[in-house]
Chains A and B, each alone.
Chain A
Amino acid sequence: MSILVNKDTRVICQGITGSVGLFHSQKCREYAEECQPGVNVFVGGVTPGKGGTEVDGFPVFNTVEESIAATGANTSMIFVPPPFCADAIMEAADAGIELIVAITEGVPVLDMVRVERYLAGKPVRLVGPNCPGVITPGVAKIGIMPGYIHNPGTIGVISKSGTLTYEAVWQLGNVGMGQSTAIGIGGDPIIGTNFIDLLELYENDPGTEAMLVIGEIGGNAEQQAAEYIKERVTKPVAGFIAGVTAPPGKRMGHAGAIISGGSGTAAEKIAALEAAGVAVAESPADMGTAVQRAMAK
């Protein structure tokens, strides 16, 4: 079992004719073919004005609507450049896509404000933007993560970061654990899916036994997640927060990773998670063992 991505997932890539979009569509297709031989998971792409053409075996459509009609896609992976990303997300939602995974980095914050309003009340889930994507090991990956480091298993991973998530997944592998699903939610101030949304899904997923939450400085999503864990989550949860040494007022790579006005520090997030009974790894080298600790509790 898993969340968000399963054997019914059929994906189109918006921005497939760009070099990055094509490269990762190919990688995603390879991974899906390994996992589900003979099943076509990555069914095509969308680039306005290039409809009717084909790129490395992927049919290209002008609009998301057309691509759904032709392929039955229910999921979109977005690689379009930042100025057009918000519009691409809204187009996908309007066309009836159920899961949108926006990889694009550098989307203006106010664009995301408009996207959030547009998506409100629609039956669609957005992951990202500025995220590595979603992977259900052994089924499919939608995003830029290296597929082979993941193993099918029972740990649900949620993270604001990319390579730090790979690190965590690697460590889980070293202690003999795999993932039900691993999701990068992105490091921007306004994102589609947050910790709480996924904690709820993992809590209700019979295939997930425990969760690993990886956060960082900035905002208070981790504190809210801690509140939620305390009240609603019965499964073991481990965590890690990056940025204990980050100075205030400086943006640490991710647009959202900034301590402002003295709030959003790692210390307050760690304290909140620990108060909620989460096994927090002190060192980034101990994320795997923190999950073991959480499960042994």
Chain B
Amino acid sequence: MKIHEYQAKQLLSEAGVPVPRGIVVKSADEAAKAFEELGGAIAVVKTQIHAGGRGKGRFKEHPDQPGVVLVKSADEARENASRMLGNTLVTIQTGDEGKVVNTLLIEEGVDIQDELYLGIVVDRESGGPVLMASSEGGMAIEEVAAETPEKIFHEPIDGGYGLHPFQATKLAFRLGMEGKAVRNAARFLPQLCRFFLDNDCSLAEVNPLVVTGDGTLIALDAKVSFDDNAMFRHKNFAELRDLSEEDEAEVKAADTGLSYVNLDGNIGCLVNGAGLAMSTMDLIKLHGGEPANFLDVGGGANAEQVTEAFRIILSDDNVKAVLVNIFGGIMKCDTIVEALLTAYDKIGFSVPLVVRLEGTNVELARKMLNESGKDIITAADLTDAAKKVVGTLAQ
């Protein structure tokens, strides 16, 4: 689960990690008021969306307006906010459609002496969290990793204890810090790691981490996401979720126990099992089609779930044909066909439907399909299914 920058900073601040003073606003007047309240000569107006690249991003409605700006007066804060709120910001991470901005964070200006990068992820290879640090603050870590990997330092984090102080100090010196900054890093870095562990994060990134003229460390930007599997331990995080940032169909699918990802193609797929669902998309592509989605109905696949799955697939206007690919194991093929036929009647299909079944009781299931009198195309095997569903589009 992703959260907004302002939410991440609030949580970090509560965990003892220093962040700039800031005020969350939802209107241009509030933005002006926030500037006054912060009381400084400068402030930063930052759009709050679940995507990076905001500073370089531009608004569809105002092509000269960036998603992050430095302002020097309350009026300037108001003017910028009015060009941002309710409008659509396009960044390298949002795709061409962009994201509508509903919330802004107004922050005090910070005396920047040095900008660094910090990020924590779980590293599959070492089997634990790892803290990455780099002197290349403000840059995307993927770019640094590709171009100058020697500038990224890695420290494994003890999953129980967290980051040891010596590791923090070691990193601080490697990053070129001196004096008071090193002492502050010995506190800041372990606190950030503790935050990651305590909150079941899947990502915690501070980019940039700012070192001020007097050696203070401040998280100027923060990106945090949580492990969905651990939400049972953090019930309070539910209120941090911003549904307007998520794909409506994907949210609906998740609520029904389905796993769905919307894609750009025109052949909808309904499959049981994640691996088979991915393979089915690949198969469609291999035979000249374009998959419209990933959809795993899971092991259960009852009539209700299949109906909902069809609804979600067909709610995508691009879908011109649907392929159902089921390997019935413990869940028998005839049970699935029953669910399929019930769903078919409820939905009222307007596009061709190709069904490929294999596994337990497959003969009986095929017979049921053929005798149903419905306009369903049955396929003998995977390849036949892909050819048939792609073929329906050519007609």
Given contacts A189-B122, A253-B296, A283-B382, contact A113 B282 (CB under 8 A): no
- Judged by a CB distance under 8 angstroms, whether B227 is at the interface is yes
Once the chains bind, are A190 and B127 in contact (CB under 8 Å)? yes
Instruction: State the CA gap A276–B289 with chains docked (Å).
Output: 30
Once the chains bind, are B232 and A83 in contact (CB under 8 Å)? yes
Once the chains bind, are B141 and A216 in contact (CB under 8 Å)? no
Chain B, range 103-153, C-beta contacts under 8 Å to A:
122, 124-125, 127-129, 141-142, 145
Which residues of A sit under 8 angstroms from B291, Cβ to Cβ? Answer: 245
Instruction: State the CA gap A83–B272 with chains docked (Å).
Output: 25
Contact of A113 among B129, B229, B296 (CB under 8 A): B129
How extensive is the interface on chain A, given as a class? Answer: 35 or more
Once the chains bind, are A160 and B122 in contact (CB under 8 Å)? no
Q: Which of A3-11, A44-52, A255-263 makes up part of the contact surface?
A: A255-263
Contact of B229 among A107, A148, A261 (CB under 8 A): A107
Contact of A244 among B122, B160, B271, B282 (CB under 8 A): B282
Once the chains bind, are A214 and B275 in contact (CB under 8 Å)? yes
Specify the chain A residue showing the minimal Cβ separation from B384.
A285
Of A82, A106, A219, most buried by chain B (CB within 10 Å of CB) is A106
Q: Which of A89-97, A164-172, A201-209 makes up part of the contact surface?
A: A164-172
Which residues of B sit under 8 angstroms from A110, Cβ to Cβ? Answer: 122, 129, 159, 197, 200, 227, 230
Chain A, range 34-70, C-beta contacts under 8 Å to B:
none
- Interface residue total, chain B, C-beta cutoff 8 A: 53
Of A112, A164, A219, A245, most buried by chain B (CB within 10 Å of CB) is A245
Contact of B382 among A244, A266, A285 (CB under 8 A): A285
Specify the chain A residue showing the minimal Cβ separation from B128.
A113
Chain A, range 106-155, C-beta contacts under 8 Å to B:
106-114, 116-117, 144-146, 148-149
Contact of B330 among A144, A161, A252, A282 (CB under 8 A): A144
Given contacts A109-B122, A163-B276, contact A245 B285 (CB under 8 A): yes
Instruction: State the CA gap A184–B278 with chains docked (Å).
Output: 16
Once the chains bind, are A244 and B230 in contact (CB under 8 Å)? no
Once the chains bind, are B200 and A160 in contact (CB under 8 Å)? no
Once the chains bind, are A167 and B274 in contact (CB under 8 Å)? no
Instruction: State the CA gap A57–B283 with chains docked (Å).
Output: 45
25 pairs of residues in contact across A and B, judged by CB atoms under 8 Å: A83-B233, A108-B233, A109-B229, A110-B159, A112-B127, A113-B159, A144-B299, A149-B329, A160-B275, A162-B276, A163-B271, A163-B327, A163-B329, A164-B275, A164-B279, A165-B275, A243-B282, A245-B263, A252-B274, A253-B259, A262-B142, A282-B286, A283-B382, A284-B279, A285-B383
Known: A82-B229, A166-B359, A257-B278; 13 extra A-B contacts, CB below 8 A, are: A108-B229, A109-B227, A110-B159, A114-B160, A144-B299, A187-B274, A219-B124, A224-B125, A252-B274, A254-B274, A254-B275, A283-B286, A285-B383
Q: Which residues of B contact A (CB under 8 A)?
A: 122, 124-125, 127-129, 141-142, 145, 159-160, 197, 200, 202, 227-230, 232-233, 259, 261, 263, 271-286, 291, 294, 296, 299, 327, 329-330, 358-360, 381-383, 386
Q: Which residues of A contact B (CB under 8 A)?
A: 24, 27, 82-83, 106-114, 116-117, 144-146, 148-149, 159-167, 170, 187, 189-190, 214, 216-217, 219-221, 224, 240, 242-247, 250-257, 261-262, 266, 282-285
Instruction: List the 7 closest pairs (A to B, CB-CB), nearest first.
Output: A161-B275, A253-B274, A163-B273, A164-B275, A108-B230, A146-B329, A284-B279
